[in-house]
Amino acid sequence: MKIVVSPTSTTDVSNPLNILGSEGVGDETPTPNAPVIAFKLLESRLHAPDPRSAEGGAPTGTPDGELMTTDPPPRPLPMLRAMIDALDRDLLQIAAHRMALVGEIATYKRLHGLRVRDPQREREVLVDRCRRAEELGLPPGEIESIFRLLLRASRDHQAALRAEVAPDAESRTVAVIGGRGQIGGVVVRLFGDLGHRVLVADVDTDLRPVEAAAAADVAVVSVPIDVTEEVIRAVGPHVREDALLMDVTSVKQAPVAAMLASTRASVLGTHPMFGPSVHTLQGQRIVLCRARGDAWADWAAQAFAARGLVITETTPEQHDRAMSVVQVLTHFQTQVLGLTLARLGLPIEETLRFTSPAYLLELYVAARHFAQSPGLYGPIEMRNPRTGEVTEAFGNAARELAAVLAEGDQPAFDAVFAEVRRFFGPFTDEALEQSSFLIDRIVERA
């Protein structure tokens, strides 16, 4: 049997794999619409009359009077996998085409002053794709996850194309003191992506911090916390009065006070609430503490938003109070968990044989935490003015709960659950939904 696949060539389809062309098993000559032809051929064979049956497809009797099925045998696994590979390559081509259209959207938004993120449009897309998925018999939850990733990649692409940067926006000179560090590198890329000229000054660069600060419109201090105030006092006097001095440290009261005392320039305290290993800046949060000069603070806020960051504005005092829970308490409980596990004497390999998704998630977080530098986490916890209060509260809660367990007091245990459940309130519904999603993803990849 022959089937024409181009004006000048024919392909033997006695073996359906032959018509997959370069999209299937390695034929050097690409075959137009080969996967479609393969599917239609196989479908026609699946529904063709069975020559072994009396009337072409109806079940026939055996000598013993039993019915004999005429269903065709399963298609060969290599053929099925080759067809899936071809479809996957088609999906990648469609994704690439989609991203090219996203690039055009970025150009339009830049010319018309539109924001990268359009929540209403995203909701419409997700609702529509989930509805279509259900109509096709596909799991809507998984399809929603796929399209959320596509939307995030689309936003990141638009931001990288400077969709929220006005065509006539003025390019600034940004000096990153500590630009060779991990967070410093993120800051360098962020402002570079937005079209600004970036100067990097670090301990191993020819350009010295004071020289970079003097030459810049914006000087960013991105150094370890324990030397931040020292560096601020060194470079602050060299920052021009019409320029901006800002930092990116995890505590805010002391660094902001140091900046205000060391320069007459505008001052802005910032805290990126993410680490250097994030895959995208889209949706990541940054905290801003205005200290002096609203014009420069507005400029920085617009720059961060243009790159997809979510902005929270507060005071240095409110920031450090919140960080005593968001960072100090979180890191402290992770450290207590890790230290306890290390000292119990039960090998991690043994516990993993019995792991639940929740335990595995806790292990991932703890192992990730201890894989990083203690020089990062120590100052975050030691320099927060409310650390003592938080660690004392943690110890009190641990001792109280331990006593309840030791006494086997179920009513007291129930009371603890009720108290904490009231604290979480409506947030519980979101927590159940999001944690279920995370657990599903962990199970998939484990």
Residue from 334, 327, 398 nearest 361 by CA:
334
**pLDDT per residue as tens digits for the range 2-12:** 333 333 333 44
Residue 23 has pLDDT above 50, yes or no: no
**pLDDT per residue as tens digits for the range 93-152:** 999 999 999 999 999 999 999 999 999 999 999 999 999 999 999 999 899 999 999 999
Whole-Å CA distances, 325 to 2, 193, 380, 394: 71, 33, 12, 11
Look up residue 24 and give its two tokens: 């299937």
Q: Provide the pLDDT for residue 397.
A: 98
Residue entry with tokens 């996203």? 102
Q: Which domains does the chain have, with CATH numbers?
A: 79-160 (1.20.59.10), 173-314 (3.40.50.720), 320-445 (1.10.3660.10)
Residue 225 has pLDDT above 70, yes or no: yes
Q: Which residue has the higher pLDDT, 437 or 313?
A: 313
**pLDDT per residue as tens digits for the range 286-324:** 999 999 999 999 999 999 999 989 999 999 999 999 999
DSSP 76: P
Asked which of 145-159, 231-245, 253-267, 390-404 is least confident by mean pLDDT, the reply is 145-159
Q: Determine the distance from the C-alpha atom of residue 170 to the mean position of all C-alpha atoms in its chain, rounded to a whole number.
A: 30
Q: Provide the pLDDT for residue 232.
A: 98
* Cβ 52 vs Cβ 14: under 8 Å: no
Q: Which residues partner with 268 through β-bridges?
A: 246, 290
Q: Provide the pLDDT for residue 46.
A: 44
Question: Diameter of the chain by CA atoms?
Answer: 102
Look up residue 247 and give its two tokens: 């930092």
Q: Which residues partner with 9 through β-bridges?
A: 6
Q: Is 239 helix (H, G, I), strand (E, B) or coil?
A: coil
